Amino acid sequence: MHARPALQARGFTLIEVLVAISVMALMALMSWRGLDGMLRTQSSLQSRSDEIRTLQAGLAQWQTDLDQLAELQGIASWNWDGKVLRLTRRSADAPPSSVGVGIDAMGAPSVRVVAWTWRIDPGRPGGGDWQRWQSAPLTQRQDWQTAWKLAQQWSQTPDDATRTGQVQIHPLAGWQLFVHRGGAWTNPLSSDAVTTGTSNNADGNTTQSGATPDGVRLVLTLPPGPSGAGSLSMDWVRPTLSGALP
């Protein structure tokens, strides 16, 4: 009777090991590429979402500033010189009981001076930025006059003092404003768009100024970027206006 030979353990050959390593390396590479693609897509979507939210916040602030325009005797509520739009708006810091109170009244802050401009900057997408500036809350006519001049100074030659009230809104390639008066849209600097009213210029002199229009059309030129490119138009209608604009 013959004894059965013992089974010998068989290992992997060198070729089999190399093939297995190659397959695992290929699978790891494919997985990494897939993960990298997902991360890039997520980053791109996040960047697009952030830019859109920033632009939406800027447009909402624009709408709020116009909605809260303060029309007080002897105080300009609106002034557009072709570069900067200056507004006098009711302050959110003022309690409801103070809304409509004259600016010389003592008590809680009642108004702010707000300015919007497009500032040229070759280093930014589109060549510039849409920016907003606001003053501290104001209660005295003298303080309002100072803030009104500072807003214009900020639009022309900003310094450290005026930049404290500045906020970068969104990169822009340009912007345009149109106003609605007398039943038609027109350039706010045209004679048809200017009605009786006065304001103080940077030198403190009294100049002709446009009164609050019935409507304002804002046209932004967006540069290529995550939030899209092209023209974006937004119309504002004075809340006290009855009827619709064409």
Q: Round the average pLDDT of the chain to a whole number and report it.
A: 79
- At 8 the pLDDT is 57
- At 193 the pLDDT is 45
**Residue 97's pLDDT band (cuts 50, 70, 90):** very low
Q: How far apart are CA 158 and CA 217, in angstroms?
A: 26
Contact 212, 196 (CB under 8 A): no
How many domains does the structure of the chain reveal? 1
Name the β-bridge partners of 79.
86
For residue 210, count CB atoms less than 10 angstroms from its CB and return exposed for 0-12, middle for 13-18, buried for 19 or more: buried
Cβ neighbour number for residue 241 with a 10 Å cutoff: 12
For residue 41, count CB atoms less than 10 angstroms from its CB and return exposed for 0-12, middle for 13-18, buried for 19 or more: exposed
Q: Evaluate if residue 106 carries a pLDDT over 50.
A: no
DSSP-based helix, strand, coil % in the chain, nearest 5: 35, 30, 40
Enter the DSSP assignment of 93: T
Domain that holds residue 88: 45-237
**Residue 207's pLDDT band (cuts 50, 70, 90):** very low
With respect to residue 199, please indicate whether it lies within any of the assigned structural domains: yes
Q: Residues 8-55: pLDDT tens digits? A: 556 667 777 788 888 888 887 777 777 767 767 666 666 777 788 889
Structure tokens at 227: 């939030």
Strand ranges for 32-183 from DSSP E: 78-80, 84-90, 111-120, 128-134, 166-171, 174-181
With respect to residue 81, please indicate whether it lies within any of the assigned structural domains: yes
Question: Three-class SS of residue 192?
Answer: helix
**Residue 246's pLDDT band (cuts 50, 70, 90):** low
Place of tokens 């001076």: 113
- At 242 the pLDDT is 67
With respect to residue 246, please indicate whether it lies within any of the assigned structural domains: no
With respect to residue 204, please indicate whether it lies within any of the assigned structural domains: yes
**Residue 103's pLDDT band (cuts 50, 70, 90):** low
Structure tokens at 236: 């504002």
- At 66 the pLDDT is 95
Better-scored residue on pLDDT, 98 or 153: 153
- At 225 the pLDDT is 77
